[in-house]
Amino acid sequence: MKKTKKNITIDGPAASGKTSIGQKVASLMGYKFLDTGLMYRAIALKSLISSLEVYEEDKIVELCHRTDIAFNTNTKEILVDGENITDQLRERHVDQRVSLIAKLPNIRKVLVSQQRVIADRNDIVMVGRDIGTVVLPGAKYKFYLTASLEIRAERRYKEFTGSKTKILYDEILFEMEERDRVDKSRKDSPLKPAKDAVTVDTTEMVFETAVGTILNVIKGTIT
């Protein structure tokens, strides 16, 4: 009989620490890791390259079917049509488009079904916006990571420092707030904590404490 795989879900707003914390939890537990945001980012980038407008949903769905997304589930890297474009996916023009693409129900359908196949085959930590609510509602451990908007903008600002992108803190804060607003208010799979998710507010937590909090919940020391 097929053994059921163990899934851990982590959802939360932009730059709440899902990727770094999720990856660490996965490596400590010997689980795979998947950042589903990169899938939406890949389609957003390809739609820009193909000069598609966000209202051209059918064409973007076609694009989605034609796009080969492969993961190295041990790292946060992603291969899109055989190419490692993980860094490009984090650029600002992708940030500005991705939520508008992620609102489209038919795009979500395609990507969610791919995410479920991956979860079905692996013990995995999967991070995103709707993983606990929609993609894997039966997962045993669910987390909702959050932090104040100012702290999240500061973290993202630091990530951009040293990269090619020159951007002001205020611009990051404004764009992040707008992206969160779109993600929380969309009709299909809005960002919200699953009813059975444990919320971890990392505003005043260092990275190690956030990882430890999640591991403690999993190990059952906190219920």
Counting contacts by CB under 6 A, is residue 133 touching ligand CDP?
Answer: no
The phi and psi torsions of 168 (rounded to 5 degrees) equal -90, 150
CB of 20 to ligand CDP, least distance (A): 10
Q: Where are the beta strands (DSSP E) in 54-111?
A: 69-71, 78-80, 83-84
Counting contacts by CB under 6 A, is residue 125 touching ligand CDP?
Answer: no
Q: Where are the beta strands (DSSP E) in 66-185?
A: 69-71, 78-80, 83-84, 124-128, 141-146
Contacting range for ligand CDP; rule: CB under 6 A; set: 71-79, 94-102, 141-149, 167-175: 94-102
Counting contacts by CB under 6 A, is residue 128 touching ligand CDP?
Answer: yes
**From the list 36, 73, 133, 213, which residue makes contact with ligand CDP (rule: CB under 6 A)?**
36
**From the list 14, 45, 145, 205, which residue makes contact with ligand CDP (rule: CB under 6 A)?**
14
How far is CA 127 from its chain centroid? 5
- Burial track 41-73 (b if 16+ CB lie within 10 A, e otherwise): bbbbbbbeeeebeeeebeebbebbeebeeebeb
CB-nearer residue toward ligand CDP: 33 or 128: 128
CB-nearer residue toward ligand CDP: 24 or 183: 183
Counting contacts by CB under 6 A, is residue 15 touching ligand CDP?
Answer: yes
Counting contacts by CB under 6 A, is residue 129 touching ligand CDP?
Answer: yes
Count of alpha carbons within 13 angstroms of residue 80, beta-carbon side: 20
Residues that bind ligand CDP (CB under 6 A): 14-15, 36-37, 40-41, 98-99, 102, 128-131, 179, 183
